[in-house]
Amino acid sequence: MSSALFGGIEAGGTKFVCVVGSGPDDLGAMERFPTETPEATLPRVIDFFRRQQAEHGELAAIGIGSFGPVDVNPRSPTFGYITSTPKVGWPNTNFLGQLQSAFYMPMGFDTDVNTAALGEWRWGAAQGLDTFLYLTIGTGIGGGGMVNGRLMHGLIHPEVGHMLLRRDPQADPFAGACPYHGDCLEGLASGPALERRWGKRAEGLPADHPAWDLEAQYLALGLVNLIVTISPQRIVLGGGVMQQPQLLPKVRSRVQALLNGYVQSPQITESIDDYIVAPQLGSRAGVLGAIALARQAAGEVL
Amino acid sequence: MSSALFGGIEAGGTKFVCVVGSGPDDLGAMERFPTETPEATLPRVIDFFRRQQAEHGELAAIGIGSFGPVDVNPRSPTFGYITSTPKVGWPNTNFLGQLQSAFYMPMGFDTDVNTAALGEWRWGAAQGLDTFLYLTIGTGIGGGGMVNGRLMHGLIHPEVGHMLLRRDPQADPFAGACPYHGDCLEGLASGPALERRWGKRAEGLPADHPAWDLEAQYLALGLVNLIVTISPQRIVLGGGVMQQPQLLPKVRSRVQALLNGYVQSPQITESIDDYIVAPQLGSRAGVLGAIALARQAAGEVL
């Protein structure tokens, strides 16, 4: 490992991953455990970094990419909190504060998806860009990324999964799985939505199943709306559902068809394979992004 | 007028407005003329500023907010061009270059909507924000704004009007007016779309006409998708269609209804009248934004 060591936490709704290192070439010890209540989970996080420090010496900083919704506004009194999540035990949890009580060092805090986006920007598929999006299509659908060279924050932070899309009830009578909106993007195209519509899990649907054309249609509708608003230089699509290799090419051609020549950029009309891409860091995007967040928190100018 | 004078150009698809001044309190001579071919129109622009300089002395800079699509990437060889517009005579017009050939001074160039957004940010309804949107609902529907304190640019620039929305064909059999997408936001909710659907111009439809609930629904669908992606701190709605006073309250309540409590921010759940607002600069947003662009081009740090 290099001399300066950083801690990274990928805090997902299902599992936590903690790691120590400085980048993709020296990721050291990594520990995974299920996301239980904060009282059960956060002490394991703290214990992991205590052990790492005992073995390797002081960390320079810790980065946290968290499931949400989270408060990512540094000027807010609840900065670093998980706020209104439906996940039992976690609403109004001062995630960052509990870490700060245990360790006196700089810490970075952002959404899980922005953090993965930062990883892809630093070491993966979004290097050199200043405006790009990273979407994860899995248990939920989340989005993050950068605009003007900085991670997207605003009133809150991007959700993306709750975009309201068109659905043809004759072609797709499934009314959607989102408890808030029914047939929003997440309600139509997340892993659980696929499973409820077709009666089996995504990985059990054959590559030529009509599920994949419909899935590509909904994802493409979401991407088109992002393209004509944020105008990203590239879109990275990760998450479990995107593991199906037949899906990404279908999404690309649906995006072109739906835009119908309106956005006259060669990246879209000629090089879409390089415009809508898979993550380069794969499942390590989250923890590597957390390391990159830590490096920023430690004062590194990227 | 103050000592440093700036030129501003609001270049719309229908009319050009040119002005000289330094801000809202000293806007001087203003000249309007119809948008004809570039050969007919740009010499009038140049002539206006020549006369102004003869009278008031050298301008410090000129700002241009242009109809589009335009190339707003300063590293592109066609920076400052109007690119693929359907407007006769204007495709591939080096708008900025022709001005630069006539005047040796700093110039700022952006979309008409980003420029109006900058005006509202500098002197109007978006003061103090770093992430907000400005939409204009008129002959077309356009959007711009800031993310992270800088005007939105990316692969190209935001379009917003071409978002793909849900439409219930039974409630609204009108298939949309957009030549590219049919029933995209602009195809459903622009002034010409209203006119084609209802057979009369927007200003001729009474305030209790069902047109306005439907219009509010489409605008709200678009705003919801912007809220869950860009997470703006405020949305400013301008343009001719928004002149109907009954429309803005309808849009606000439809946004709340469609979000259905998902985005738990008091700005949306409690203060929506201060979250979705009318422009403060009214019809001067465009020219004042062009003055603000000019001030930036002259090196002013805002």
At A237-246, the pLDDT tens digits run 999 999 999 9
* Tokens coding A279: 């993550």
Residue B156 has its nearest CB partner, among A69, A165, A265, at A265
Q: What is the pLDDT of residue A1?
A: 42
Residue A155 has its nearest CB partner, among B84, B167, B265, at B265
pTM, two decimals, is: 0.94
| % residues pLDDT > 70 (chain B) | 99
Closest CA to B157 of B115, B106, B208: B115
* Tokens coding B22: 């330094």
**Does the N-terminal peptide bond of residue A158 adopt cis geometry, omega within 30 degrees of 0?**
no
Chosen from B130, B150, B162 to mutate, greatest number of chain A CBs within 10 A: B162
Q: What is the pLDDT of residue A278?
A: 97
- Chain B contacts of A154, Cβ < 8 Å? 131, 147, 230-233
Q: Is pLDDT above 50 for B1? A: no
The rounded radius of gyration (Å) of the Cα atoms in chain B is: 19
Give the helix, strand, coil percentages of chain B, each rounded to 5. 35, 20, 45
- Kindly report, residue by residue over A222-267, the tens digit of the pLDDT: 999 999 999 999 999 999 999 999 999 999 999 999 999 888 889 9
Q: What is the pLDDT of residue A68?
A: 87
The mean per-residue pLDDT over the stretch A298-302 comes to 81
Beta strands in chain A (DSSP E): 6-11, 15-21, 30-34, 61-66, 107-111, 132-137, 141-147, 150-151, 235-238, 276-277
> What gap in Å lies between CA A10 and CA A236, rounded to an integer?
18
Closest CA to B231 of A86, A68, A256, A27: A68
Q: Least CA distance to B275: which residue of chain A?
A: A155
Q: Do B63 and B9 meet the contact criterion of CB atoms below 8 Å apart?
A: yes
Tell me the β-bridge partners of B147.
B150
- Kindly report, residue by residue over B62-116, the tens digit of the pLDDT: 999 999 889 999 999 999 999 988 788 999 999 999 999 999 999 999 999 999 9
| CB-based burial label for B243 (10 Å; 0-12, 13-18, 19+) | middle
* Tokens coding B195: 């006119």
| Phi and psi angles of residue A265, each rounded to the nearest 5 degrees, phi first | -120, 130
Element (H, E) at A99: helix A95-102
Chosen from B84, B155, B270 to mutate, greatest number of chain A CBs within 10 A: B155
* Tokens coding A164: 């309201």
Category of A70 on φ-ψ map: left (φ > 0), alpha (ψ -120 to 50) or beta: beta
Higher pLDDT: B236 or B85? It is B236
Residue A165 has its nearest CB partner, among B149, B166, B226, at B166
* Tokens coding B296: 């930036």
| CB-based burial label for B186 (10 Å; 0-12, 13-18, 19+) | buried
- Kindly report, residue by residue over A44-97, the tens digit of the pLDDT: 999 999 999 999 999 999 999 999 889 999 999 999 999 988 788 999 999 999
Q: Least CA distance to A217: which residue of chain B?
A: B164
Q: Taking CB atoms and an 8 Å limit, are B165 and A167 in contact across chains?
A: no
pLDDT band at B302 (very low <50, low <70, confident <90, very high): low
Tell me the β-bridge partners of A151.
A146
| Phi and psi angles of residue B151, each rounded to the nearest 5 degrees, phi first | -60, 145
Q: Give me the interface pTM, i.e. the ipTM.
A: 0.93
| CB-based burial label for A85 (10 Å; 0-12, 13-18, 19+) | middle
* Tokens coding A211: 């599920």
